[in-house]
A and B are shown apart, each in its own frame.
Chain A
Amino acid sequence: AQSVTQLGSHVSVSEGALVLLRCNYSSSVPPYLFWYVQYPNQGLQLLLKYTTGATLVKGINGFEAEFKKSETSFHLTKPSAHMSDAAEYFCAVSESGGSNYKLTFGKGTLLTVNP
């Protein structure tokens, strides 16, 4: 079974600073990878996804992530943090069992942005 590890359950940055949220995965097949964001008491919203092709993926709100197969990583970055980026972020990897497809999520990283 696939697994996802998000290093750091809580990351704190200053407004305007670089945001780096780490995600490592284990997968026996080429993975499809996703980053979601969740604001308090809301559902999850897709930020970006990697399927095939270009390893640097751009998403919404200025976020991007780079798929590195050799490091089994899919870290999320944003050059300059904004107060509105404060939320919880989840990395997910796809897996299949026969004809059934599902996502496995990491435990999440709570991002705090300080003024």
Chain B
Amino acid sequence: DGGITQSPKYLFRKEGQNVTLSCEQNLNHDAMYWYRQDPGQGLRLIYYSQIVNDFQKGDIAEGYSVSREKKESFPLTVTSAQKNPTAFYLCASGLAGGFYEQFFGPGTRLTVL
């Protein structure tokens, strides 16, 4: 089945530790996106990538980093510089080069203790 997988579903980390969230898609999409969701805030764009080896900052990139070495994968690292990392993180993918819909993974809930 084609789709987007995010792992793990729940993640706990101690304050000050970096953590990497996985996102993999087998939809053959060029574009991939990372969002952060907080209650009452909607979805806020962290980073996005339209093609392998290239990515752009979204609206709230500070304290986060990404890589796009393969078309299928777009991992997100939450660094210790992110002041309030506890949130629900959503990965999405879609066709590039136009106003296409995005397809979402099931999300990872990160809790920093």
Q: A residues bordering B, Cβ < 8 Å?
A: 9, 32, 34, 36, 41-46, 49, 51, 90, 94, 96, 99-103, 105-108
Contact = CB atoms under 8 A, between A and B. Distances in A.
Sort chain B's interface into a size bin: 20 to 34
Contacts of B41: 107
Interface string B16-35: 00000000000000010101
* Nearest 8 interchain pairs by C-beta: A43-B104, A32-B99, A107-B42, A94-B99, A105-B43, A44-B104, A105-B42, A43-B106
Interface of B: 4, 31, 33, 35, 40-43, 45, 48, 50, 56, 58, 88, 90, 92, 96-107, 109
Interface centre among B96, B99, B106 (most CB of A within 10 A): B99
B56 A100 contact: yes
- At the interface, is chain A mostly helix, strand, loop or mixed? strand
A45 B88 CA distance: 16
Given A100-B48, A100-B50, A105-B43, A42 B107 contact: yes
Contact of A45 (B33, B99, B100, B104): B104
A46 B43 contact: no
A51 B100 CA distance: 9
Nearest to A93: B99
